[in-house]
Amino acid sequence: MEKTAALEELRSAIVNCVKLEEVKALAKRALEIGAQPLEIVDTVKGALDEVGDLYEKREYFLMELTLAGSTASEIMNMIKPELKASVGLIKGKVVIGTVAGDLHYIGKDIVVVMLESQGLEVVDLGVDVPCNRFIEAVKTEKPDILAMSGLLTVVVDEMGKVIEALRNEGLRDKVKVMIGGRAVNPEYAREIGADAFGASAFDAAKLAVEWTGEKMGGQ
């Protein structure tokens, strides 16, 4: 019960844009009383989803969106060592990025942390990544998985363009493609020919590990 209350307090603090040091203290306390790192990740994601909803309803503005995102990023950096698994050999490689026209990075960064925690090598292309950069990364990095993120509905067509370009370059059968973000869903993944939709950072990591022939560490 105490752990549940601590996680709820953390979620509320992120949503209400409480000062960073106070939020970090709440996250630390939650860990100290038994919250698992994955529970912190889930709490952070839930808070960001709520902030995103408030932004779309115009109850929050860019300032609140930015503050919440920055706080979430700091929390993820703080717990990253806790998430790191004793994995030994690298299990596979993932190229990831937020598609062209979209500057959102927090959701992607959370996925990166989750992937790395499971022993996957991650090549993070950043945000606002054009189609040709994804293609070049697939050619040069030779990843097992290409992951694309998009939070804005106006940019989702970019994901389809990347998959079509992979086909044109003869690369589509050489890499698994995963998409994620608030702007997409499983139906859209099927429509554009992606292999899967990652509904959350945990789901994305689980899929990635399954695809590379491993089991989730510690699960």
Residue 14 sits in which domain range? 2-83
Average the pLDDT over 11-23 and give the result. Answer: 95
Say if residue 104 is in the same domain as residue 182: yes
Average confidence score pLDDT of the chain = 88
How many residues are present in the chain? 219
Which of 83, 115, 145 delimits the end of a domain? 83
pTM of the model: 0.70
Low-confidence winner among 6-20, 77-91, 153-167, 182-196 (lowest mean pLDDT): 77-91
Instruction: Write out pLDDT tens, residues 139-169.
Output: 999 999 999 999 888 888 999 999 999 999 9
Write a three-state SS string for 27-76.
HHHHHHCCCCHHHHHHHHHHHHHHHHHHHHCCCCCHHHHHHHHHHHHHHH
Using CA atoms, how far residue 144 sits from 5, 42, 127, in Å, is 40, 26, 20
Domain count, the chain: 2
Structure confidence at residue 127 (pLDDT): 94
Residue 31 vs residue 215, higher pLDDT: 31
Report the CATH number at residue 148. 3.40.50.280
The reply to whether 59 and 108 lie within a common domain is no
Assess whether pLDDT exceeds 80 at residue 184: yes
Is there a domain that residue 216 lies in? no
CATH code of 78's domain: 1.10.1240.10
Average pLDDT over residues 118-126: 89
Residues 98 and 78 in one domain: no
Judge if 77 and 139 occupy the same domain.
no
83, 103, 122: which is the final residue of a domain? 83
Cβ atoms within 10 Å of 17's Cβ, excluding its own: 18
Neighbours of 97 (CB within 10 A): 24
DSSP 8-state secondary structure symbol assigned to residue 99: B
In the listed set 50, 83, 116, which residue is the last one of a domain according to the structure? 83
Residue 42 pLDDT > 90? no
What integer pLDDT is reported at residue 216 of this predicted model? 45
Strands 120-124 and 145-149: unpaired
Local confidence band at 87 (pLDDT 50, 70, 90 cut-offs): very low
Residues 6+ apart with CB under 8 A from 184: 150, 156, 159, 197
Distance CA 185, CA 157 (A): 13
pLDDT band at 84 (very low <50, low <70, confident <90, very high): low
* pLDDT (0 to 100) of residue 68: 87
Q: What is the mean pLDDT of residues 33-62?
A: 86
d(Cα 71, Cα 182) in Å, to the nearest integer?
A: 19
| Least reliable range by pLDDT among 20-24, 74-78, 81-85, 190-194 | 81-85
Mean per-residue pLDDT, 120-130: 94
Q: Are 134 and 99 within one domain?
A: yes
Lowest-confidence region among 104-118, 140-154, 191-205: 104-118
Q: Are residues 107 and 206 in the same domain?
A: yes
Supply the DSSP string of 137-186, one letter for each residue. Answer: HHHHH--SEEEEE--SGGGTHHHHHHHHHHHHTT-GGGSEEEEESTT--H
219 falls within a domain: no
Q: Are residues 101 and 141 in the same domain?
A: yes
For the chain, percent of residues with pLDDT exceeding 70: 94
